[in-house]
Structure 1
Amino acid sequence: MRPSRVASQRLVLAAALWTCSAHGQAAAGIATSSAQQHLQQAHAFLAQKQPAKAIPEFQAVLQVDPNNADAVGNLGVLLYFVGDYAHAEPLLERTVATQPVPKLKGLLGLAQRRSGQPEAARATLTQAFPALLQGQDAFVREVGLELVELDSAAGDLPAAAAVIAQLKARLPADAGVLYAAYRVNTDLANEAMLQLSLVAPSSAEMHRAMAHELSRERDLKGAITNYRAAMAADPKMTGLHFELAEVLRQSPEPELKAEAEQQYQLAVKADPSNAQALTRLGDYAADRSEHDSAITYYRSALKLAPQDSNANVGLAHELVETNHPDEALALLLNAEKADPTDTLVHFRLAALYRRLKRPDDAHREVADYERYKAMKDKLHAVYKEMRVNAPGRGSEDQTQGAKP
């Protein structure tokens, strides 16, 4: 088994970690001069970055001195990285028993997984993972993702979610970590939906959950029907009016769109601290050019949620319309800080900078607007293509005019 150049580099690094901790203390235990020669030759090969040649030398040491800690530890690491997990696992287990180094414990868990011992691997990696969070990103990622798979396979989704949370905090832009987070959270949602359907199939909670799923699938009529059923089952359930209003607002039917405003009003009546509902009401007032009413709604929303981008942009627009551009600029900059990719913010800023006779700033905002718009248009096209090409989804999405 000859490792690649990249694999060889990994082997040397991994082996060196163990060598630094074990080589000095083990030399005194060499049983014969022959074993000592093999041990010296093995370390010479490691120093020359030839780990494959070091393997038979460490094996020769163990034939003479089976308990030599240096040879046991280094050989376990080397065999792991050349893919001989079955022989690496017992050596790593012996090493970890006396020297519980976090990285070696992680390698042991990975070797157990790859040699067909999922339960042992899960227990080992669960113990090793917290200590490994202080180590290198690549190894933290490898161990963490393996542990997520083991937890999920064991049906312990909360444990998998806890590991995912730590991986996302460490590697927020890693595609593999984000995909694992998507899978785990989807499985958690599906599990909760199944349990809810068994425990309370006709409850307000079940109808609300169904409405949420149907809304995500762009089945607006189905979502509206289930929200109404949830209200009938529990008229006082917090948040239902706002969620129904959000779906009604997307409907192409004028009567339903008009009802959305009424539902936002009921949402605020039920919960005066609902900043999102207040913002939506501000939008409706702004559409009718009712500037004073819109400003009142937006200011009320911002008192509750100062960083709300929609409320900042809405109030800024109304202030520009009522000739208060300086205050509007502060609000738009606040919105830009909250979400630098918001194309509407950059569009409004560009227009406002032109009004304030700041052409350079206006030019910058136009460039940002075009850049983020192009990025979002590309993502939109990708998602749309994925939905259209999904089995059984193409004609449905096209007839409903669904957006990703």
Structure 2
Amino acid sequence: MATMSLRVWAACSAVLFCVSVALAQVPAPKVQSEIQRGLEALRRGDYTTAEELFSGALKTSPTLAEVRANLGLAYYADHKYAEASQAFRTVLQQDPSLKSARTFLPLSLAAQGQCEEALPGLRRGFASNPDAKLRRDLGLSLERCLLQTRQQADADEVIERLLALYPDDGDVLYEAGQMYGKLSSELYLRLLKVAPHSARGFQVMGQVAATEGNWQKAVDAYRQAIQTDPNLPGVRLDLAIQLLVHSTDPGAWKEALSDLNAELQINPMSPEAHYEIGEIYRKHDQLDAAAAAFERAIRLRPDFVEARMGLAKALRQQGKSQEAVSVLETTRKTAPDDAGVHYLLAQLYRELGRPADAEREEEAFQKLQKSPQ
């Protein structure tokens, strides 16, 4: 059973205090007992028990907004972001002034990729929240949502502000390094200096080793990162990719699939994880599951060319060449310079008896192959 991270506990502590004070106003001893045991479960990171106890108290006393806020926090800490969002929405209907719900609703929405709705609350919270650790989390979520909604200039401002406020924070340095390609080496070196044995530090060590071609060292570093922080987003995806690309163990794909599913428990809005799962299923002839995974990746990132090509390949393997063509013809409009799209389209057109279209795509492919990169 995972213990609650210091960051989550720091964020939750103010709300837990409010409920502890409010217990004196709750008349039913059973409700008081459920709330108190729920708080204890939340403190020790037993989120399932906390959810059950808070839900039980709310069945008896559904108007306790603070208790519902704690239920939302339990869901949030348990990566059940849709349930957390619903809980916080209900809280705000009952008590629009409750600060915890106003803070954690946008965080929950951002974790689901619902950035357009989350952005106003994230902006407001990052600008004014007095809790330093919670403000940091609001800023990181704000930066990711700004990038997702293609607001690069605003994202730059947020990451610069985060670096000014938290110059030695591992997650801030990591996110900045991811965003600033030309500055990433300097930022990563600072991260390794200030937090060499942190989860992010191990993750960067793994990425450096992978870049150098030392995949086994990369795998070892990623596993150290997971051991240090089991809830670190992104690292299980990194690990799975190394196993899929380099491992000679015939069962490595099963370990990679397990890692990818675990990644989605932490970060369900990762299009890359859905894509890699789709590729695993496609290569092992589980084509319905593959197509479903690719479609999830595309919904999360409509311009994800590799996921569209994966879907087209899965449809082709199912004998649905015309559907595959439809997928790729749409992709060609948004990625006209992708040689792989033209090559696969040429093959499909030939299979469908469309030689003129196939020749056109082959010419486009050859032209792109000869073009300087």
Higher RCO (C-alpha 8 Å, min separation 6): 2
Question: What TM-score, normalized to structure 2?
Answer: 0.48
Q: Which has the larger radius of gyration?
A: 1
Question: What TM-score, normalized to structure 1?
Answer: 0.45
